[in-house]
Amino acid sequence: MKSRAIVHGAVSIVNAIPTGVGAALGVDLTTIVEAESFESNKREIDVEIKVEDEVVEENVLVEKTVNKLLSMTDRDKIGVSLKIYSNIPIARGLKSSSALSDAIVLAVSKLLGIEHDLLDAVNIAVDASIESGVTITGAFDDAVTCMMGGVNITDNYKREILAHWNVEEDLSILIIVPEEKIYTGKLNVDSFKNIETLSRRAVTLALNGLIWDAMIINGFIIASALNLDPKPIMTALNSNVLACGVSGKGPAIVAVTLPEHEKELEEEFKKYGKTIKTKPNNKPAIVEVLR
């Protein structure tokens, strides 16, 4: 048997680290996981990962997620082969880990005959992410958004979805992807304490539907907390954009604009590094049996 899961990416509206409440927006970047079982006299995991323009340095999250699912069965002697493809840049704050753990849970669960609804799958993915050390708050907001699409505002510690809605899809999203990588496990959490009050204001704006205002406030305060250069944000805000800010813990910078202003903004963003273009995504993840 062979299964496949397709999960989309996401970008931050409000970072959850300062308050535990986060908001994210689905985007049309994808992680695809194909899972297949093979005969083995022990529990065995074979992984092949390809990420566009990236070197994959470790797969602790992959192994942790698969082993959690295998532990839900009585099959200790089984091999699971995974082929993973993604166009989501790694360690830039673009939810690559959340998309990956979501996709693994869906594909391997289908392979093993384990039944979940999407929210159950998200919780398994979040547990695996916490145990792997790739998240501080559990990244429930990111995992929900990658799995379900649209805009999601969540309490990450209670694992509650506070709000969910679809966003207009005829928008352009441009992302600056610096060479620098920032790994969550190396963050100084104390640097977020001074921005808690402003972050709560951003959460309130998001809950009132003012997600672009929330993204702008979040962008400046996260840049301040992490000593990221705010110039790309200021450049974008002097152009025709709806919003611009830092995604996750950065260093990626995300701007949302109308399609007619995309080229203008792209020219400005290219001055700061590699730029990728995408669209909002409102579609939930897909999982299917291939044979």
Q: Which residue has the tokens 């992410």?
A: 129
Q: Are 136 and 189 in contact (CB under 8 A)?
A: yes
Q: Which residue has the tokens 């790739």?
A: 134
pLDDT at 30 (0 to 100)? 97
- With a cut of 70, say whether residue 196 has pLDDT above it: yes
Q: Are 201 and 221 in contact (CB under 8 A)?
A: no
Q: Which of 264, 219, 225 is nearest to 241 (CA)?
A: 264
pLDDT at 185 (0 to 100)? 62
Alpha helices in the chain (DSSP H): 60-70, 96-112, 118-132, 140-148, 196-207, 211-226, 231-237, 262-269
- With a cut of 80, say whether residue 85 has pLDDT above it: yes
pLDDT at 225 (0 to 100)? 92
Query: How far apart, in Å, are the Cα atoms of 224 and each of 12, 52, 170, 194, 220?
Result: 16, 30, 31, 10, 6
- Residue, of 132 and 34, whose pLDDT is higher: 34
Token representation of residue 129: 């992410």
Q: Are 175 and 11 in contact (CB under 8 A)?
A: yes
Amino acid letter for position 116: H
Mean pLDDT of 16-33: 97
Lowest mean pLDDT among 131-145, 180-194, 254-268: 180-194
Domain CATH for 101: 3.30.230.120
pLDDT at 9 (0 to 100)? 96
190-194 long-range CB contacts below 8 Å, 24 or more apart? Answer: 191/225, 191/226, 192/15, 192/17, 192/18, 192/225, 193/18, 194/225
pLDDT at 250 (0 to 100)? 85
- With a cut of 80, say whether residue 156 has pLDDT above it: yes
- With a cut of 90, say whether residue 219 has pLDDT above it: yes
Mean pLDDT of 197-217: 98
Q: How many CA atoms lie within 13 A of 47 on its CB side?
A: 22
Name the pTM for this structure: 0.93
pLDDT at 180 (0 to 100)? 79
Q: How many CA atoms lie within 13 A of 120 on its CB side?
A: 7
Mean pLDDT of 154-173: 97
Q: Are 256 and 13 in contact (CB under 8 A)?
A: no
Alpha-carbon gap, residue 263 to 281, rounded angstroms: 21
How many structural domains compose the chain? 1
pLDDT tens, position by position, 100-153: 999 999 999 999 999 989 999 999 999 999 998 888 888 999 999 999 999 999
What is the span of the domain harbouring residue 182? 1-291
- Residue, of 188 and 48, whose pLDDT is higher: 48
